[in-house]
Structure 1
Amino acid sequence: MELVLAMAIGVLAGSGIWLLLRPRTFQVIMGLSLISYAVNLFIFGMGRIKLAAPPVINTGLAADAGQYADPLPQALVLTAIVIAFATTALFLVVLLASRGLAGTDHVDGRETPL
């Protein structure tokens, strides 16, 4: 399971970096989204993935201290998803405004019309 998660994080991060280096703004936005997904998976993976473990045990016994899933990475990832959605929406609005004003969607300053 850890190997699959590590490969998924690597593929998402590598694809995101490749898209960030592309000359068009939509590809840059998609690259940022893929990198944010990779970071979310990384944070989620740092919470020690446990299969068939309840989220919280309320028995109060010290022996059950390691038998539950850590809710903090899940809360951090949920917050990061909301922030990434809002940031992507803002980037898309800026992309449309920039394309309307400049007549091109290149980020490298070239004056090639659409």
Structure 2
Amino acid sequence: MEILIALMIGVLYAAGIYMMLRRSLVKLIIGIILIGNGANLLIFLLGRITKGSPPIIPGDAHLLTEAYADPVPQALILTAIVISFGLQSFAIVLVKRAHTVVRTDDLDEMNATDEDS
């Protein structure tokens, strides 16, 4: 299972970098989204995939003796999802505004309009 997730992380990173190297702003945003999802899966994989109970220590024990799930990577992923959603929302609004002003989403044409003005 971990090998499959590692391969999926590699595919997401490769596709994200490929999309970010395109000239369109929409493809740039899609690339950022793919890399963000790959990073979330990477954090999840680093936390180890174990089947176990929640990390709650019973009242009569001092230590956990059985396998338990680590809650820290899950909390980090939830925080990363919220931050990436905010970044994606801002980028979409910024691209929409740039498209209404310049009338194109091609990065080379946007750069050329700066020199003409």
Match in the other structure for 2:35: 35
Cα separation, 2, equivalents of 1:14 and 1:101: 32
Contact 2:57 2:63 (C-alpha < 8 Å) held by counterparts: no
- 1:87 maps onto 2:87 in alignment: yes
Unaligned ranges ≥5, structure 2 = 113-117
Q: Normalising to structure 1: TM-score of the pair?
A: 0.89
- Rg (Cα) greater in structure: 2
The amino acid across from 2:109 in the alignment is G
Instruction: Render the CA deviation track for 1:66-97: whole Å, top value 9, x for unaligned.
Output: 61111000000000001111110000000000
Unaligned ranges ≥5, structure 1 = none
More helix per residue:
2
Where in structure 1 do 4 or more consecutive aligned residues deviate above 6 Å? none
Could you tell which deviates more after superposition, 77-86 or 101-110?
A: 101-110
Contact 2:44 2:73 (C-alpha < 8 Å) held by counterparts: yes
Contact 2:12 2:38 (C-alpha < 8 Å) held by counterparts: yes
Correspondence list, 1:36-75, <5 A: 36-51=36-51, 53-59=52-58, 60-62=61-63, 64=65, 67-75=67-75
Cα separation, 2, equivalents of 1:4 and 1:103: 42
Tell me the number of residue pairs that the alignment of Structure 1 and Structure 2 aligns.
109
The amino acid across from 1:57 in the alignment is I
C-alpha RMSD of matched pairs (Å) = 1.5
> What SS does the aligned partner of 1:105 have?
coil
> What SS does the aligned partner of 1:44 have?
helix
Contact 2:55 2:64 (C-alpha < 8 Å) held by counterparts: no
> What SS does the aligned partner of 1:7 have?
helix
Contact 2:57 2:64 (C-alpha < 8 Å) held by counterparts: no
Cα separation, 2, equivalents of 1:105 and 1:22: 11
Match in the other structure for 1:104: 104
| Identity over aligned pairs, percent | 39
